[in-house]
Amino acid sequence: TAAKPASRGAFIVLEGVDRCGKTTQASLLIKHLVGLGLAAVAMRFPDRTTMVGDLINQYLQSKSELDDRAVHLLFSANRWEAAPALRKTLIDDGANIICDRYAHSGVAFSSSKPSLEDNLDWCRACDVGLPAPDAIIFLDIAQEEAEQRGGYGGERYEKKEMQQRVRKRFSQLQEMDEKDGRIPWFIVNAAQTIEEVQIEINEIVEKTVEKVQSEEQPVGLLWK
């Protein structure tokens, strides 16, 4: 059996509206951490490679229609099905996870739909108890700036009005987390150059990794 690692890995989540540069930054961050000799694993949600993920993918590409609550539960199930592997990576392998979107995207997008806008608590409920991030890095960008980046793709939700509502929801979720005091948010101005954004993110992540290693806290339970 493999030796138990000295400490667990940090669970870092990158969040933001579509076109904020999350995916680019996530892969740069992995390279940076590996360069520092730290184990780093990339994850992303939705994970379209699973059976649940395939249903989500068909929905996002408008190849299927689903009730808003049904698809919300699929996004949540897509996280729950990954949770055991996520814990194993953090705890047994002692590797850091860099995750492109997680539960906050789930709540922000679903609760921006007219049918769910008064149901924030319902939207949060199915993600309660998932492995909690040690830090949320929110890549903040103005709507106009995001739109200038080559425009949106053709997937569901990639519309101006929806994106504006999502951005507001993220702020609301940030406030709720800050009141609760367990999951720290770091807001990075994503309108800067790729290099400038990268420098800020690297610093936040290095500090978070150090904190997780020195405090020896177990992986938290989201919103519980």
| C-beta nearest to ligand NYM: residue | 106
- Contacts (CB under 6 A) with ligand NYM, residues 118-157: 157
Rounded Cα–Cα distance for residues 97 and 47 (Å):
14
CB 11 within 8 A of CB 133: yes
- Contacts (CB under 6 A) with ligand NYM, residues 155-194: 157
| Minimum CB distance to ligand NYM smaller for 21 or for 94 | 21
- Least CB distance from residue 82 to ligand NYM, whole Å? 11
CB 86 within 8 A of CB 11: yes
- Least CB distance from residue 212 to ligand NYM, whole Å? 23
Total residues at the site for ligand NYM (CB under 6 A)?
10
The strand pairing partners of 98, in sequence order, are 12, 42
Residues 6+ apart with CB under 8 A from 35: none
Stretch that binds ligand NYM, among 84-92, 103-111, 186-194, 207-215 (CB under 6 A): 103-111
The strand pairing partners of 99, in sequence order, are 13, 43
| Minimum CB distance to ligand NYM smaller for 9 or for 106 | 106
| Minimum CB distance to ligand NYM smaller for 11 or for 109 | 109
Asked if 52 is part of the footprint of ligand NYM (rule: CB under 6 A), the reply reads: no
Out of 8, 32, 101, 165, which residue is the one contacting ligand NYM (CB under 6 A)?
Answer: 101
Q: Measure Cα distances from 11 to 15, 54, 83, 98 in Å.
A: 13, 25, 12, 7
- Least CB distance from residue 162 to ligand NYM, whole Å? 9
- Please write down the long-range contacts of 49-56, taking CB distance under 8 Å and 24 or more positions apart: 50/78, 50/81, 50/82, 52/77, 52/78, 52/81, 53/78
* Helix, strand or coil, per DSSP, at residue 204: helix
Stretch that binds ligand NYM, among 5-13, 31-39, 98-106, 187-195 (CB under 6 A): 98-106
Query: What are the backbone dihedrals phi and psi of residue 69, each rounded to the nearest 5 degrees, phi first?
Result: -70, -40
Asked if 53 is part of the footprint of ligand NYM (rule: CB under 6 A), the reply reads: no
- Contacts (CB under 6 A) with ligand NYM, residues 3-22: 18
Q: Is 48 exposed, middle or buried (0-12, 13-18, 19+ CB in 10 A)?
A: middle
| Minimum CB distance to ligand NYM smaller for 38 or for 190 | 190
Stretch that binds ligand NYM, among 26-34, 82-90, 100-108, 206-214 (CB under 6 A): 100-108
SS3 content of the chain, % helix, strand, coil (to 5): 50, 10, 40
Q: Footprint of ligand NYM on this chain (CB under 6 A)?
A: 18, 45-46, 60, 75, 101, 105-106, 109, 157
